Structure 1
């Protein structure tokens, strides 16, 4: 089976056992200092064990000043030992290692400390222009490529790859769509080819003759005026061959236009979309050629190779999703392969998100955690009842079964897959539907007990008597709450996608997120005239960049009319009323489709039944909080790995404590949130923050946590504080107006800092159980007059009589006094010196906060 795919091949001195390459993909697995981490080694070794022939190590900087952190570097000898450790590990498992030499141009901007080098002057704003690289710098970079290649040889790599694509510096010189120089490195094709050819020659000069030199290059430029044509690329490849390139790795895309979608192609693009380009380049150049572009099936790869279109194939995200892809294909276990669906949620979106620690994968939650997530058999097998057969429930069941537990899935409907299956009904997303079906078939093959049309009730729980219970019942659509929401023309988006509602005519979709826009496309394909109303300034705001580009293009291509910044106020027979730019606007329609999000289904009855029977109760996926599919599979997988841990079991039998936190967007608040969320089995975290774009950005990284809640409001407003305190077990009062803002608005500082403290005390006292709520007040060194410079001239340094000129310090002293004199049963101030103690009214002895 797949004889060509698994036939050996020799390229100069490089012998490969099959025709599959793991490409150089950005992972963020490197250490912050650009060295090799154990995490990166484990990642590569796992794919070598899985049967991959050649691992091309990710983009590696050649030039120190422009080397971004969290990405590898070979710009100095100090990086050789770590990379040698990586190649040794790859070789030990029978694999071969290449390394991609890189100068990232604009792409290094993810690290503000890295120098950005561009081919020619690039205006960023009317006032700011990034200067083009100088002749001296060009010579320096060329030398750095050669020096890095020499180090690659010392580090034990079997080949090197020069990256001449994706807007990186060599591509930026080669493309007339980017290079606007007027010297010998710009203008004509020959001039524009000069720099990348100098780089190739310098690399070739510093590696042995037996070591092949690869070149990654775009088949042509996309969305760039005067960009490279495929004929330009063929001409350059012939010159590159003369300069020393042995292998072509044909890619697509750039980071400064909608062509980005071709770099890491999402599900919207056809599988194998770039192979015909690679075949043409191979034919015209006669060079050994590697094909790239959404190849995620061994039969697809075999057809591409056996037809002679290319000599090798890249299977990148396919091996992220399943590190055993190659071995499973070789052994004929095709049905066992976990296929990439091109969602880009974990790989590219995480790479692009500067706050994401590293890439992840919806289909493979162990990505980047290969060692810690090794599947180990349990010595305490459990019967685990899982309510819900969506992808969260299925992922939990499959992993539990692999570990030796006995999961039982009870699904209320007549099919498995949940909303992931439903998502696959949208245009171009059938692979998601097939993935949901595949998970269900995998569960069946494993012998997992699956009970369809079986909603879980207290009697079901008591009948099965599980050792643990997992709530994975998912979410339901949020109902529209405006006059006329119950009108007969109002339809749910899920009912449209499932085929339950067959609509025609003029449609208004309320909600322009992913589900709303995909529902709009679904309807447009069926001949409907569609208008989408979105309250935010942009539609598709919840999509990553590559999918957003693709969906947006298809929205306009389908003739759909998206309207942003409109608030729906009413639904009438034959129209939807909205307010836009302060004016009421009528949008005529035959049907109004609601797609304004989802919220978790009510699982209180399930929790009550488990508490009654002393059964550990867990919640995962959308049942905990409506989010993305990647959150569901990660939570399910992690729970399945730890469900038999005694501490985990004990915590699951208790109610989580709720911590209400002010000041959550400040430095101290963010770190506090991180600490609390790391104890997710014990705490729910509620944060009060002012609604602003800055605060939204700060808190964005926490929004995917199921135990994290934001209440937007003002600390000065008592009703908001009361809402935050209600249901809380702990109150951490960190928030305050601090200098220099405090110095500019003394009156506002006193109202905010003292007023918020009084509001919290009042709200705690207004609760039915005030003595059960524990308050921790955070003071400041400003109360002692010893803040860091610049020190205000009027500060006297007396904590009893703070300077009236230091309104921040004054407000904190007064606030702390109010806490001291509040009469609350439990409180703590950081001004007290007793370690982890609280003050209890009427008692001298301190008690620890638990």
Structure 2
């Protein structure tokens, strides 16, 4: 098995085992519509040869948008624009999955004019935002919003939908004891902390039917010394998700400290032993489920990825910043390119206005 072998996930055929993992570009219109620049970016990804493109996170409720100019799937009037988007990506040869999300407390965007929701009223350690502790009615409101968002995704011609359950956003907060201090049916045990995610999955499945591919992105671990979501938690949740009809799970990792969130992985990632840094968690999860497991994080070498395919049950690999910088890297790899990717994980792609590789922003070599 190699990364350029085809794979089928719940009937969705992909030409290879590489995903473009969700990346917030901050390039949609102010009301969440995919504009020409946004669509052109995805056409380049489709032409670049990646097996499946996962969109930057799309909001299921406009009042829960954590940053500006994000894609939105919260209103039916967006469906024609989203359909134009998927049609263009398909014409360029791509397969596209919409990642849908709610922000939670990981934000300072429009902090004074909207409510940030969370499982408990716990200040975010990086942003300082204290969310409103969600009532059962609030939880039901979000579950329904995710279900309706998935319906719009399906109607707009996307090939799949992915629930964003990682990286400190709302679903991730429910899974993580640091944020989830509840004592009701949605807090405490890992089974209770996972209830919100499972209810979202059930709502989506009942809306889109059994044949439409549904994925989840979640942590293998929060990598937090205490009060974090652990690998043992992830094993329980992954098996529960499979039992509720999930088609594939993408495994990333958490960053619940200032050091982890703000420092880059540094150019040492070019060393093969420093790459694919969440693959160990993904491999452990792949041992306890029969659905495909996708590993995301620090993938820079096709040799490393092919070795992981041979030594683990991991089914594929997601790449984020790497394809933000070099969308045609899969095409280069397929045709024998053996050099290092352009991306060195400097994190300078994250801008106030738009997220894009600094090499494209400044049009000059990055000082390493």
TM-score normalized with structure 2 length: 0.90
Cα deviation 1:144-200 (Å, max 9, x = unaligned): 000000000001111111111112111211222220012221122222221111111
In structure 1, C-alpha distance between the alignment counterparts of 2:14 and 2:130, rounded to whole Å: 46
In structure 2, C-alpha distance between the alignment counterparts of 1:230 and 1:131, rounded to whole Å: 28
Cα deviation 1:430-469 (Å, max 9, x = unaligned): xx4xxxxxxxxxxxxxxxxxxxxxxxxxxxxxxxxxxxxx
**Cα shift at 1:312:** 0.6
The corresponding residue for 1:525 is none
Query: What does 1:711-726 align with in structure 2 at a 5 Å threshold?
Result: none
Query: What does 1:161-240 align with in structure 2 at a 5 Å threshold?
Result: 161-223=162-224, 225-240=226-241
Query: What does 1:97-496 align with in structure 2 at a 5 Å threshold?
Result: 97-112=96-111, 113-123=113-123, 130-223=131-224, 225-254=226-255, 257-260=258-261, 265-267=265-267, 270-335=274-339, 338-346=341-349, 348=350, 350=351, 356-365=352-361, 392=364, 420=367, 432=368
The corresponding residue for 2:19 is 21
In structure 2, C-alpha distance between the alignment counterparts of 1:364 and 1:334, rounded to whole Å: 22
**Cα shift at 1:50:** 1.0
**What secondary structure is seen at the aligned counterpart in 1 of 2:223?**
coil
**Cα shift at 1:361:** 1.2
Query: What does 1:529-608 align with in structure 2 at a 5 Å threshold?
Result: none
The corresponding residue for 1:6 is 4
Contact 1:165/1:218 (<8 A) preserved: yes
**Cα shift at 1:287:** 2.6
Residues 242 and 334 from structure 1, CA distance in 2 versus in 1: closer, same or farther, beyond 3 angstroms? Answer: same
In structure 2, C-alpha distance between the alignment counterparts of 1:366 and 1:309, rounded to whole Å: 41
Cα deviation 1:224-255 (Å, max 9, x = unaligned): 52222211110111111111211110000135
Contact 2:33/2:81 (<8 A) preserved: yes
Residues 123 and 250 from structure 1, CA distance in 2 versus in 1: closer, same or farther, beyond 3 angstroms? Answer: closer
More strand by share: 1
Contact 1:34/1:70 (<8 A) preserved: yes
In structure 1, C-alpha distance between the alignment counterparts of 2:193 and 2:175, rounded to whole Å: 5
**Cα shift at 1:345:** 1.0
Contact 1:219/1:277 (<8 A) preserved: yes
In structure 2, C-alpha distance between the alignment counterparts of 1:114 and 1:38, rounded to whole Å: 29
The corresponding residue for 1:786 is none
Cα deviation 1:265-322 (Å, max 9, x = unaligned): 4446621111111111101223311011111222222222233341111122222222
The corresponding residue for 1:93 is 92
Q: Which has the larger radius of gyration?
A: 1
Contact 2:22/2:99 (<8 A) preserved: yes
Contact 2:104/2:131 (<8 A) preserved: no
The corresponding residue for 1:716 is none
Range moving further from structure 2, 186-195 or 69-78: 186-195
Residues 73 and 153 from structure 1, CA distance in 2 versus in 1: closer, same or farther, beyond 3 angstroms? Answer: same
In structure 1, C-alpha distance between the alignment counterparts of 2:135 and 2:326, rounded to whole Å: 45
Residues 110 and 142 from structure 1, CA distance in 2 versus in 1: closer, same or farther, beyond 3 angstroms? Answer: same
Contact 1:16/1:54 (<8 A) preserved: yes
Contact 1:61/1:101 (<8 A) preserved: yes
In structure 2, C-alpha distance between the alignment counterparts of 1:61 and 1:124, rounded to whole Å: 20
Cα deviation 1:16-73 (Å, max 9, x = unaligned): 0111110111110111111112111111110111111111011111123212431111
**What secondary structure is seen at the aligned counterpart in 1 of 2:56?**
strand
Cα deviation 1:474-519 (Å, max 9, x = unaligned): xxxxxxxxxxxxxxxxxxxxxxxxxxxxxxxxxxxxxxxxxxxxxx
TM-score normalized with structure 1 length: 0.40
Cα deviation 1:126-155 (Å, max 9, x = unaligned): xx9543111111110000000000000001
Aligned alpha-carbon RMSD (Å): 2.4
In structure 1, C-alpha distance between the alignment counterparts of 2:31 and 2:107, rounded to whole Å: 14
**What secondary structure is seen at the aligned counterpart in 2 of 1:109?**
coil
In structure 1, C-alpha distance between the alignment counterparts of 2:132 and 2:99, rounded to whole Å: 26
In structure 2, C-alpha distance between the alignment counterparts of 1:72 and 1:25, rounded to whole Å: 11
**What secondary structure is seen at the aligned counterpart in 1 of 2:117?**
coil
Residues 124 and 245 from structure 1, CA distance in 2 versus in 1: closer, same or farther, beyond 3 angstroms? Answer: closer
Contact 2:105/2:124 (<8 A) preserved: no
Contact 1:18/1:52 (<8 A) preserved: yes
Contact 2:300/2:341 (<8 A) preserved: no
Range moving further from structure 2, 284-293 or 144-153: 284-293
In structure 2, C-alpha distance between the alignment counterparts of 1:164 and 1:303, rounded to whole Å: 28
Contact 1:166/1:253 (<8 A) preserved: yes
Q: Tell me, which stretches of 5 or more residues in structure 1 are unaligned?
A: 351-355, 368-391, 396-418, 421-431, 433-850
**What secondary structure is seen at the aligned counterpart in 2 of 1:110?**
coil
- Mapped pair 1:49 → 2:47: yes
In structure 2, C-alpha distance between the alignment counterparts of 1:313 and 1:268, rounded to whole Å: 20
Contact 1:340/1:363 (<8 A) preserved: no
